[in-house]
Amino acid sequence: MRHASFLPIAILTALSVNGFAQSSQSSATGSTKDTAQKHGPLPSIMAGLGVLYFNGNIGKGNGITAYSTVRGGYTFAIEERPVSFLGIQLDGMIGKLSASERSNNPDSNLNFQSNVVQGEITLNLHFDGLLLKKDAPIAPYIYTGFSYMSYSKYADLKDAAGDPYFYWTDGTIRNDAQNAQDIYQATIKNNIVQRDYNYETFVSSGSTECVPVGLGVKVKITENLAMNVQAAYYFTFTNSLEVFNQVANAPLKNDKYLFSFATIEYHFTHKNANNIDETKYPDFTVFKSLTVEDTVKKTDEISKEKSDELEAKQMNRDTNAVDRSAAFNEHPTETVLKEEDKENQAKKHDPNTVPPRFRPADKNHDGYISSQEITQAIDEFFDGTSTMTIADINGLIDYFFDQ
């Protein structure tokens, strides 16, 4: 019957809440019998591209701009954050380093391009989870670490026809060497050539260690997707990335470079069949691991506990109230309510004595909850027009017999 069906619903709701509470308690006490092992944090993977800017012993002189030393590079990485604000990251980078130098001194016209492959490990300090909220949409970070670079060095020494470049004191590049006898004739010949910027001549290869110091900003796009914009300055332990002429009494400094880049990051999370993030709801694994038989058994156990609890409550009441309550639960609109009404309607009641959560059921505001008012409250609950909850309806029944 519709009027009596609220009791099974109330019991099911209580069982659900109790089941979650017991599972949480088992997790807190370290029980492993009924709980699944919690997963640790999963890593993030990143890939992107950027530009490398070389800073070394060459790259000065006339007609040299910042674009003369800028080359492209690709990067990929994986990061694990054992704690919310600290990350350990493995990076790989493939790119080029290059620089040129022009001068009226023929011996100071230099150029090179090194193909580099680099791997590194860095320690990242994230401000989200440290100074900002863990789920901050924009969060900066700083990092440093250790890198190992392998390089192959080339120079542009020949033109497109395969002839060597000859640098003259007037700042031009020609296909003939400069000498005093034919300088006028060479000018008339107009044998000026242009560099083709094809680094065709292999010079040498080698490797070096580097120390990066960098900073970045993480911008979250979705729960699992983010974009990183960052820059790192690399201090190498070599001056051999470039092609240069040793100048007397001019010590060479170790090469350095700046790598500025952007990456797209994907953060893995623990998902289950219902697409729930188990790292956010660790106790969900408890219910996922239960079989149908386990669920039925657990429900029976909780039902018995709930029944015992209700029975203990009823023992504290007078025998007549217990009998009337049992009769009402079975037939809420039967004579037991009418008899209770006859006894109580003759009494005067103060409307203010009705608990606030039961007052919506006191339709005539006489301070007494009648059987008709209980029936109406139950109907409104199932019709979805009531503000009372299942717990309120159960409490209202108890209050009816105690008023």
What is the Cα gyration radius of the chain?
A: 41
Q: Of 56 and 302, which is predicted with more confidence? A: 56
309 plus 364 within the same structural domain: yes
The yes-or-no verdict on residue 95 having pLDDT over 90 is yes
Residues 136 and 246 in one domain: yes
Domain interval for residue 360: 6-37+294-402
362: three-class secondary structure by DSSP: coil
Q: Does residue 274 fall inside a structural domain?
A: no
How distant is the alpha carbon of residue 61 from its chain centre? 47
The CATH number that applies at residue 253 is 2.40.160.20
Q: Which of 161-170, 193-202, 248-257, 259-268 has the highest mean pLDDT?
A: 259-268
Asked whether residue 363 is assigned to any structural domain, the reply reads yes
Residues 170, 140: one domain? Answer: no
Does residue 236 sit within a domain? yes
- Specify if 285 maps to a domain: no
Question: For the residues 240-254, what does the mean pLDDT come to?
Answer: 72
Between 332 and 382, name the one with better pLDDT.
382
132 and 252 housed in the same domain: yes
Based on the domain organization, do 16 and 102 belong to the same domain?
no
Secondary-structure breakdown of the chain: helix, strand, coil percentages, each rounded to the nearest 5? 30, 35, 35
What is the residue-averaged pLDDT of the chain?
77
Please tell me the predicted confidence (pLDDT) of residue 382.
83
Q: Which one of 168-182, 301-315, 382-396 scores highest in mean pLDDT?
A: 382-396
The count of domains in the chain is 3
Using the predicted structure, report yes or no on whether residue 290 has a pLDDT greater than 50: no
pLDDT at position 308 over 80 = no
Q: Are residues 28 and 49 in the same domain?
A: no
Distances (CA, A) of 176 to 104, 189, 201: 16, 10, 19
Count helices and strands in the chain by DSSP H and E runs: 8, 10
Both structure tokens of 128 = 């989200």
Whose CA is closest to 325, among 7, 2, 5, 10? 7
At residue 402, the pLDDT reads 77
134 and 211 in a single domain? The answer is yes
Whole-angstrom CA distances from 146 to 10, 239, 242, 247 are: 62, 18, 22, 31
Confidence of residue 152 (pLDDT cuts 50, 70, 90): very high
pLDDT band for 16, please (50, 70, 90 cuts). very low
Give the whole-angstrom CA distance, residue 322 versus residue 337.
Answer: 13
For residues 314 and 221, state if they share a domain: no
Checking if the pLDDT of 129 tops 80, the result is yes
Work out the average pLDDT over 10-19: 41
- CA 65 – CA 98 distance, rounded (Å): 12
C-alpha 56: how far from its chain's center? Answer: 38
What's the gap between Cα 219 and its chain centre? Answer: 10
* 179, 198 contact by CB (below 8 A): no
* Domain end call among 267, 283, 309: 267
Are 121 and 58 contained in the same domain? yes
Encode pLDDT of 336-361 as tens digits: 555 555 555 556 667 788 888 888 88
Same domain, 312 and 395: yes
Residue 283 lies in a domain: no
308 with 365, same domain: the answer is yes
